[in-house]
A and B are shown apart, each in its own frame.
Chain A
Amino acid sequence: MSQANRKPRFKWHIVVFLAPAVLVYTAIMIFPLFNTLRLALFSEVDQVRVFTGLDNFRTLFGDPRWSESFWNALGNNFWFFVIHMVVQNPIGILLAAILSHPRLRFATLYRSAIFVPTILSFVIIGFAWKLILSPIWGIAPDMLDAIGLKFLYAPWLGKEEYALTTLALVSVWQFVGIPMMLIYAALLSIPEEVLEAGEIDGVTGASAFWKIKLPLILPSIGIISILTFVGNFNAFDLIYAAQGALAGPDYSTDILGTFMYRTFFGFQLQLGDPHMGSAIATAMFGIILIGVCIYLFGIQTRMRRYQF
C-alpha cells in the first residue's frame, strides 16, 4: 500500500539519454525548419525586413506568373513521382523476388552491381547520363543504330516532351537498388514453414509469390512508397546537375526543389529572394506533410500485419 502512495521518482536517465539526439536534431532540423516557416511571413522592402503576413503566399498562388510556375513545378513533381512508383518500385520488387530465388547463381554480384549507383554522387550520375544520351558524343545513338533502331533516337534531354521522363528514368536507374534491398530483406524474413505449408496446399511458384509472399511484404512496400514520395518531392540534385537551375528546356523539368532554389538564391541576373523562397519551401513542406499524413492515417493503420 505504502509503495503505491509513494510519488514515482523522476527518471533522470531518460532525459540524459535523449538529450544528445534532441539537441542535435533541434539545432540542425527543427530550428531551421521553423525559421524557414517564419521567414516566409516576411518580405524585404528597401533593405529592411518587414512582416507581411501571408502576402508571399498570396503572390505565390494568386499572381498568374508565380502560380503558373508553381503548378508547373508541382505537376512535374507528380509525374516524377508517378514514374518512380510505376517503374522503380515494381522493378525493385521483381529484382528482389529473382534475387531471393534459392537457385540463382552469383546473387551477391547482381545485388551489389544493382545497388552501386545508389551510392554514387548525383553530379556523376547527371554528367554520365548526359554524355551517354548526348547526340554528339553519346553511345545511345550508336547503340540504337547498331540494332537498326536509330529512328527511335531523339535528343531526349533537350526536348520538352521527353526531358522530364528521361530524367525520372535516370533517377529510377540510380535508386532501384533501395526498394530491391528492402524487399529482399523482407522476403528473406518470411519463414520457410509458411511457404512449405502453402506448398502442401498446392500453392507453388508464381502463385506462392502472389498469394503468400506479396501480402507478407506489403508493409515494406508501403514504407518504400512513402520514402519514394518524400524523396521525390524533395528532389533537386539530379535536375540541377543535368539541366541547371533553369530546369530547361523551357521549365519542362522544373520541380519544386529547383523552383525553390532559383527563387531563394537567385539565378544569373535575377537576385535571390529568401522570403519568397521560404514561402515555396513552406508549400513543399505542407505538400509532403499532407502526403505522409494520408499514408499514416489512411493506409498504415489499415494494413494487416502478420506475426510469426
Chain B
Amino acid sequence: MKTKTFGMALLATTILGGAAMAEDVTLTIESWRNDDLTLWQDTIIPAFEAANPGIKVVFSPSAPAEYNAVLNSKLDAGSAGDLITCRPFDASLALYDAGHLTDLSDLGGMANFSDVAKSAWQTDDGAASFCVPMASVIHGFIYNKDAFKELGLDAPVTEDEFFAVLEAFKADGNYTPMAMGTNDQWEAATMGYNNIGPNYWKGEEGRLALIAGEQKLTDAQWVAPYATLAKWAPYLGDGYEAQTYPDSQNIFTLGRAAIYPAGSWEISGFNGLADFEMGAFKPPVAAAGDDCYISDHTDIAMGLNAASPNAEAARTFLDWMGTAEFASIYANALPGFFSLSSHEIAMEDPLAQEFVSWRGECSSTIRSTYQILSRGTPNLENETWGASAAAIKGTKTPEELGAELQSGLASWYKPQM
C-alpha cells in the first residue's frame, strides 16, 4: 500500500513536472560571440531564468567570420533563433529593412540608453530602434609592464615617444617590439588604421565630414595614418606577413612581445593567459597636449526576430537587458566590453578601468568605415583591410591607397562623387 502511494506520488510529480515543462518557452539566441558561451551558460542565462521562471534561454553562437552569412541564410529559410545578436549599422539595418527584425522603440528598457548608444541600431532618420545596445569596445595599445620596467621605459604619449619605445625594444632584442601580423588583414585596419586614425581626422568631426562629402579619403588627414602604419613594419616580428591574429595574441600573452595594438575585447582573454602585469596606453598624439580622440566603437546589440513565435518571452528578455543587473553582470564578466546603458556600473578589472578612463580625457568616435560608407560595392571597410595591410607591407604608397579607396567610394556614394 505504502509503496503504491509512493508510486502514485512519483507518477503525479512526473505529470506535473511534464505540465510545467510544456509551459516553458525556449528562446534561442543567435550570436557570433562563441568565446562567451560559458559566460552566457553559467552566469547570464541562470540569472535571467531565476528571475523569469517559465522562460528557458539557449545561447547558440556561430563562428565570427561566418556569422553574417549564416544568419542571413537562416533568416531567409525561417530557421533562425528568436533573439538575434546585432552587428552595428548596415548589416542590422538591412535585416530590419527586410522585415527580419522587429521595431523595439516602444520597449521599456530602451529608456536606459542614450541616443548615441542607440544610433548604431536605428533607421537613418532615427524613427525606429531595432536592437537593444549591449556594449562598445575601445581601441588602444596593451603593453607588457614588466618588459617596460626592465628597459626603464614609460608608456608613450606622443608619436615620437611611441617610435622611440619601439626602437628601444628593437635595439634590446629580447622582445618583439610589437605583436601584429597582416595575414588576416582585419587587424591592420581595425587595430591599426582605425586605432591611430581618429587623432588625425579629429574623430567625429572627420568621420561626419567624410559621410557628408566635405572631406575625401585623399585628404592629408585620411592618408597620413597609412604613412604611420608603414613605419610600423620594422618593429613587427619576423615573417609578420604570415602572422595570424591568434599568433599575435599568443606572442603577446607568452611575454615575447612588448606592445600589442588592441581592442578592449582582448582584456578578458589576456587576463587568463598572461602571467605578467599588463597596462594600456591610448593612441599616441602628434604633440604633447594635443586633443586626443579614441575609437569607442558601438559593437554589439540584441534584436528580436520578427518571425519568432515567442515574441512575448523574447521582449521580456530584451527588457531585462536594459536593467542595471544585466549591465553589471555583462561588464564585469567580460571586462573590455563596456556597457552602453546609462546605469552607473562599477568595474573591477584594472585594465578595463584604464581603457574606460580615456572616455573622460578624449573625445569618442566610432570606426570611420562603419556607418553608411560600407553600404555599397566595393565595400569601404573590406577595402580598408586590404589597404592597411598593404600600407604596412609597403606594397603601395599611402597616396596610392588613398586614391584607390576614394575612387572606390566615389563609384557608388553620391556625396563623394
Residues on A close to B: CB < 8 A? 47, 65, 130, 133-137, 141, 154-160, 243-246, 248-251, 265-273
- Taking a contact as CB atoms under 8 Å apart, the answer to whether A158 and B181 are in contact is yes
Q: How far is the CB of B35 from chain A (nearest CB, A)?
A: 18
Which of B73, B186, B377, B408 contacts A265 (CB under 8 A)? Answer: B73
- Shortest CB-to-CB span from A99 to chain B, Å, is 35
User: Given A47-B97, A248-B183, does the pair A269, B243 have CB atoms closer than 8 Å?
Assistant: no
Whether A155 and B98, one on each chain, are in contact in the complex, defined by CB atoms closer than 8 angstroms, is: no
Residue B182 lies at the interface, judged by CB distance under 8 Å to chain A: yes
| Bound complex: CA A47 to CA B411 (Å) | 22
Residues of A within 8 A of B99 (CB): 47
Please, which residues of chain B bring their CB within 8 A of the CB of A250?
A: 386, 389-390, 395
| CB pair A136 B69 closer than 8 Å | no
- Contact, CB under 8 Å: B239 / A136: yes
- Check A270 against B379 for contact (C-beta < 8 Å): yes
Q: Which residues of chain A have C-beta atoms less than 8 A from B408's C-beta?
A: 65
Q: How many angstroms between the C-alpha atoms of A159 and B239 in the bound complex? A: 9
7 nearest CB pairs, A to B: A135-B239, A158-B241, A158-B242, A155-B242, A155-B239, A265-B69, A270-B379
* A25 shortest CB reach to chain B, Å: 23
Interface contact B389-A270, CB-CB below 8 Å = no
Q: Closest approach, in angstroms, between the C-beta of B87 and any C-beta of chain A? A: 8
Interface residues of B in 360-412 (CB under 8 A from A): 369-370, 374, 377-379, 381-382, 385-386, 389-390, 393, 395, 408, 411
Known: A268-B186, A268-B381, A269-B382. 8 other contacts (CB 8 A): A248-B386, A250-B386, A266-B68, A269-B379, A270-B381, A270-B382, A271-B72, A271-B90
Q: Which residues of A contact B240 (CB under 8 A)?
A: 135, 155, 158
Overall SS of chain A's interface = loop
Q: Is the CB of A137 within 8 A of B247?
A: yes
Contacts of A155 in B (CB 8 A): 239-243
B103 located at the interface, meaning its Cβ lies under 8 Å from any Cβ of chain A in the complex: no
Cα-based distance from A69 to B385 in the complex (angstroms): 16
In the complex the two chains form, what is the Cα distance from A248 to B382 in whole Å? 11
CB distance from A287 to the nearest CB of B (A): 23
For A154, the chain B residues whose CB sits under 8 A away are: 239
Chain B residues within 8 Å of A272, by CB: 68-69, 72
Return the contact of A158 from the options B87, B239, B374, B379 (Cβ within 8 A).
B239
Does B19 belong to the interface (CB within 8 Å)? no
A265, B72: Cβ atoms closer than 8 Å: yes
22 residue pairs of the A-B complex, CB under 8 angstroms, read A47-B98, A65-B408, A135-B240, A155-B239, A157-B183, A157-B242, A158-B181, A158-B239, A158-B242, A159-B241, A244-B184, A245-B65, A246-B386, A249-B182, A268-B186, A268-B379, A269-B89, A269-B379, A270-B374, A271-B68, A271-B72, A272-B72
> Chain B residues near A47 (CB, 8 Å)?
97-99
Taking CB atoms and an 8 Å cut-off, the chain B residues in 136-187 that contact chain A are 181-186
| Residues of A with C-beta under 8 A to B251 | 136
> Is A266 a contact partner of B72 (Cβ separation < 8 A)?
yes
> Is residue B91 contacting chain A, with contact meaning CB distance below 8 A?
yes
Contact pick for B243, options A156, A158, A251, A271, CB 8 Å: A158
Q: Is the CB of A160 within 8 A of B242?
A: no
Residue of B nearest to A159 (CB): B241
Closest to A245 in B: B65
Which residues of chain A come closer than 8 Å to B181, judged between CB atoms?
Answer: 158
B386–A271 contact, CB under 8 A? no
**8 Å CB interface, B95-122 against A:** 97-99
Interface contact A271-B91, CB-CB below 8 Å: yes
Q: Tell yes or no: B197 within 8 A of A by CB.
A: no
Interfacial residues of chain B within 188-247, with CB under 8 A of chain A in the complex: 237-244, 247
CA A243 – CA B183 in complex, angstroms? 8
Neighbouring B residues of A130 by C-beta, 8 Å: 244
For the complex, give the distance between the alpha carbons of A271 and B181 in Å: 26
Contact in complex: B65, A244 (CB < 8 Å): yes
Contact B370 A269 (CB under 8 A): yes
